[in-house]
Structure 1
């Protein structure tokens, strides 16, 4: 075999190795990143006992240690009617009304147009207003309709529907309602809606993959390390509030079709969204700080970049500016007795 032939063979081998290497690199680059396999769990008898600890699920910034976090508010009662955000109509009755009779008289729907509608009774035993319950007796009632929500202010048609429903309930329990003046309540509704519209905030970050895409399992595994849990909708994860029953602090979403794919390992996700509904979350939860820390941690762990909705990279100093503006917003909401995360704020900003 001549030297030329040997040289051609060597060159062909080099080229073939290069093509195989290129194909392997390309395949690896295009294949979505996969979740790591769960570590093997040793039998309990073979492990040393471990003292249980509470992990926050995110990296605390300087100055945000546990000792610096203000205490969370006590659990609130179930939201009831309130003159601040509801148009109220007191209903006088001739004598005590049973809870069973009140429940039977309630309208089939609890809305007047797009606004929540409710009936409360004055419990004869406790002297507290509450939603009618079987086994209780009530000495008075009040009907209410919410003045504004994110759909808009209460209008004349919705107020009229409120009057019709409240009157029907009053008739059924032998009560006499006293309705507020419609134009006054509609005016209050517009003013509340104007304030709410000017002080609403829903923030969002977008995490975009720098190179390889992500599989659903990879996203879920990285988010779970920060405390996120699966939501009710495929492609949605939430960071739960510290107080059970409160709305989630943060919501992480990605492509629903990818989450429902027959083979999730082959579903490619190139971006996920991280959002915060400001009026729904107590400022004591430090939601924006945790949003920034979660976004940065996810970006570092998943080889991604944090951007706004327009694809512009968000720098740390930009996050600081947003955080300062949010503090002013919190103060404004509190000055109106609509503190972020309160029951009243959740109702108005919904």
Structure 2
């Protein structure tokens, strides 16, 4: 074999080795990070330190830019006159089924319900009331309810077996995210409540339809301008994540498994209340035969602003969680269009939320209250 042939053979071998090495590098980058991985930054964890070794403040300001605020609105409702809060992405909130027992179901409230007293000729049993209830608890798109006055506590309650009542009332919600109560729904409420009352020999006292429908429109107009569903999107900078890898880091921030695949929630400090935050990713990836081999390029953090009390500091915790996850998993916090969110933008969101909370408080519809959760549903 000549010197030229030997040289060409060596060059060919080097080229082949380079191709193999490049393919191995590309393949390695395409494999999602899994929960079993431990980087150099996780050395403290092996020693028993459960604190995240990352600081949100380390995120470079050169990697983010300003974006314009966007307001989340109620479905089917007219847009508010001015933005009340910034929303980058929208996702629904889920309550973990393993959390403590839910709080008592909120009762009728004159603030957000049409209420018709039912005059009884004689005392009736809770068994009879339950048997007379209509088959559906809705009037059009609005919840319908019947309550009895408990003499022992002096409070209105949902009818119970074994209880006896001298006073009853029926009600329908004035507005929700489907819009205000209209003439047709009010008429349906009257028919349904009258049929229920007839079975118990009760006489209903209905309020004026025009006044109640006008009240529903006014309440809906307020709600339309103060509904907010806030969300951030976390996108992988380079290597994708597996569902287990995401769950590993989220659980260290207090998130727990939600009721649906691909969902985790951050529980509130009060049992039975709505979750503070929801973390969502592709449910198909979560249900894959081998989830650790599925690749996630993005996850979403969301907050139902009107469902969480201000005292929980939901936005502060959302911002901290987003930045901590981004740093820990080598990601970036963006809006739903993929534009990174700057510190200034997040500061403006926080200021807008404070104004929103004040407006809700002024109407006795404080965020996280039973009335607010019913209205904004």
1:115-130 paired onto structure 2 within 5 Å: 115-130=142-157
Equivalent pair of 1:118/1:143 in contact (CA under 8 Å): yes
Give the counterpart of 2:310 among 252, 268, 283.
Answer: 283
Find out whether 1:81 has 2:103 as its counterpart.
no
Give the counterpart of 1:134 among 153, 156, 161.
Answer: 161
Equivalent pair of 1:254/1:272 in contact (CA under 8 Å): yes
Where in structure 2 are there 5+ consecutive unaligned residues?
39-47, 58-101
Residue in structure 2 matched with residue 344 of structure 1 by the alignment: 371
Please, which moves more after superposition, 151-160 or 221-230? Answer: 221-230
Residue in structure 2 matched with residue 201 of structure 1 by the alignment: 228
Count of equivalent residues: 323
Alpha-carbon distance in 2 for matches of 1:227, 1:284: 18
1:105/1:189 Cα in 2 relative to 1: closer, same or farther (>3 Å)?
Answer: same
Residue in structure 1 matched with residue 25 of structure 2 by the alignment: 25
- Greater relative contact order structure (CA < 8 Å, 6+ sep): 2
Give the counterpart of 1:103 among 130, 143, 152.
Answer: 130
Residue in structure 2 matched with residue 43 of structure 1 by the alignment: none
How far 1:311 sits from its partner (Å)? 1.4
Give the counterpart of 1:306 among 326, 333, 348.
Answer: 333
1:60/1:286 Cα in 2 relative to 1: closer, same or farther (>3 Å)?
Answer: farther
1:255/1:60 Cα in 2 relative to 1: closer, same or farther (>3 Å)?
Answer: closer
Root-mean-square deviation over aligned CA pairs: 2.3
Please, which moves more after superposition, 164-173 or 4-13? Answer: 4-13
TM-score by length of 2: 0.81
Please, which moves more after superposition, 86-95 or 263-272? Answer: 263-272
Partner SS state of residue 187, structure 1: helix
Equivalent pair of 1:76/1:343 in contact (CA under 8 Å): no
Residue in structure 1 matched with residue 36 of structure 2 by the alignment: 36
Partner SS state of residue 303, structure 2: strand
Alpha-carbon distance in 1 for matches of 2:30, 2:172: 55
Find out whether 1:188 has 2:224 as its counterpart.
no
TM-score by length of 1: 0.87
Alpha-carbon distance in 1 for matches of 2:145, 2:194: 13
Alpha-carbon distance in 2 for matches of 1:222, 1:235: 14
Equivalent pair of 2:276/2:308 in contact (CA under 8 Å): yes
Equivalent pair of 2:103/2:273 in contact (CA under 8 Å): no
1:269/1:76 Cα in 2 relative to 1: closer, same or farther (>3 Å)?
Answer: closer
Give the counterpart of 1:317 among 334, 337, 344.
Answer: 344
Equivalent pair of 1:81/1:118 in contact (CA under 8 Å): yes
What per-residue deviation string (whole Å, max 9, x for no partner) do you get for residues 150-197 of structure 1?
A: 110001111111111111121111111100011110000000000000
Alpha-carbon distance in 1 for matches of 2:146, 2:224: 27
1:211/1:59 Cα in 2 relative to 1: closer, same or farther (>3 Å)?
Answer: closer
Residue in structure 1 matched with residue 172 of structure 2 by the alignment: 145
What per-residue deviation string (whole Å, max 9, x for no partner) do you get for residues 35-90 of structure 1?
A: 1269xxxxxxxxxxx9xxx999x9899xxxxxxxxxxxxx9753000000000000
Partner SS state of residue 18, structure 1: helix
